[in-house]
Amino acid sequence: MAVGPRVLEAAGLREPGRRTRLREWWEQEHIFGYGLIVPAIVLLVTLVGFPFGMAIWFSLSDYWVGSPGGFVGLTNYRDILGNETFRQTVQNSFVFTGIALTLKIVLGVWLAMLLARNLSFKRVIRGIVLLPFVIPTALSTLAWLWMFDSLYSVVNWTAIRLHLISAPGPNWLGQSAYAMAAVITVNVWRGLPFFAIVVLAGLMTVPREYLEAAEVDGASSWGRFWHVTLPLIRPVLAVVILFSTIFTFADFNIVQVLTRGGPINTTHLFATLAYQVGLQGGNLGQGAAISLFIFPLLALVVFFQLRYVREE
């Protein structure tokens, strides 16, 4: 029940000032809670929601650089489906992501198991492993560009000296299959530390008592990994696979620096083709449609992966 000013005056108390009433209003639980998340919502809407909405609008319009666009519905999506370069890009993206992700899962788990052992200079080794992830992607990819150079390739020079290949060696960035192998190699090299460190964090949570009990029961190293370690780190693996899938599908820097989608569009990914069509070619409508084409599939992957993690 509200206390009137006459009651407060009779009791010798003063009416609360505006500042006090404002503080009491702010300290209400539901007001305080919503007040804390408002800055995050503003940031999300400004930095994510608005650009995403603009991209959807561009994809549904015939917008070109320097000219006003009009609504054309799904025409851009229909046009890119009839484009041979786009169909090649879809195939490239799935091959690139499938092979790179598989290699990162296998090598990442293997590397995490090695880092979990009691090695000498363990902290130094873990720091060195993180280097590919710390160095700016464009800078490190420039080094790989020199290593795969058609004339001065250090990769070819090493392989020839080890009698693994015959001189002069393959033209890594000039032939389709070798170019795809090159961009996959650099993507795996770049993404492996992230995979290994996250899995290593999961391995640290596995109780040693379970492993010791399995060892007492006669389980081999592979048996302890398959029946004890792997089930316990499965939620961590699901999360890191989810992030790695998104990052690999959306990769841009590596392909743009190494091959620019060539030779003959055989290494184009969605991001590089969208950049070429939308920004370099000026067709923002089709560029946005290309960049958003894979969004429904990635949304489904995120939905099912997160549901799996919650169930685990």
Q: Where are the alpha helices (DSSP H) in 27-153?
A: 29-44, 50-59, 75-81, 84-115, 122-129, 131-134, 137-147
Q: What is the mean pLDDT of residues 144-162?
A: 87
Task: Please report the pLDDT score of residue 11 as a whole number.
Answer: 65
Q: Where are the alpha helices (DSSP H) in the chain?
A: 5-10, 18-26, 29-44, 50-59, 75-81, 84-115, 122-129, 131-134, 137-147, 154-161, 176-203, 208-216, 221-224, 230-249, 253-258, 270-274, 284-292, 295-311
pLDDT band at 15 (very low <50, low <70, confident <90, very high): low
Question: Does the structure show a pLDDT above 90 at 163?
Answer: no
Task: Please report the pLDDT score of residue 182 as a whole number.
Answer: 94
Task: Please report the pLDDT score of residue 13 as a whole number.
Answer: 62
**pLDDT tens-digit profile of 226-271?**
999 999 998 889 889 988 998 898 899 999 999 999 898 999 999 9
- Angle among Cα 167, 170, 173 to the nearest 5 degrees reads 145
**pLDDT tens-digit profile of 266-300?**
999 999 999 999 999 999 999 999 999 888 888 88
Nearest partner of 132 among 195, 199, 202, 200, judged by Cα: 195
pLDDT band at 80 (very low <50, low <70, confident <90, very high): very high
Rounded to whole angstroms, how far apart are CA atoms 246 and 233?
20
The DSSP letter of residue 205 is: T
pLDDT band at 121 (very low <50, low <70, confident <90, very high): confident
Task: Please report the pLDDT score of residue 164 as a whole number.
Answer: 86
Nearest partner of 56 among 287, 302, 309, judged by Cα: 287
CB neighbours of 186 closer than 8 A, spacing ≥ 6? Answer: 141, 144, 254, 258
Question: Does the structure show a pLDDT above 70 at 6?
Answer: no
pLDDT band at 94 (very low <50, low <70, confident <90, very high): very high
Q: What is the mean pLDDT of residues 31-43?
A: 89
* CB 101 within 8 Å of CB 241: yes
Give CA separation, 86 vs 235, 260, 277, in Å: 35, 15, 11
pLDDT band at 69 (very low <50, low <70, confident <90, very high): confident
| Percentage of the chain modeled with pLDDT above 70 | 95
Task: Please report the pLDDT score of residue 254 as a whole number.
Answer: 92
Is this model's pTM higher than 0.95 or not? no
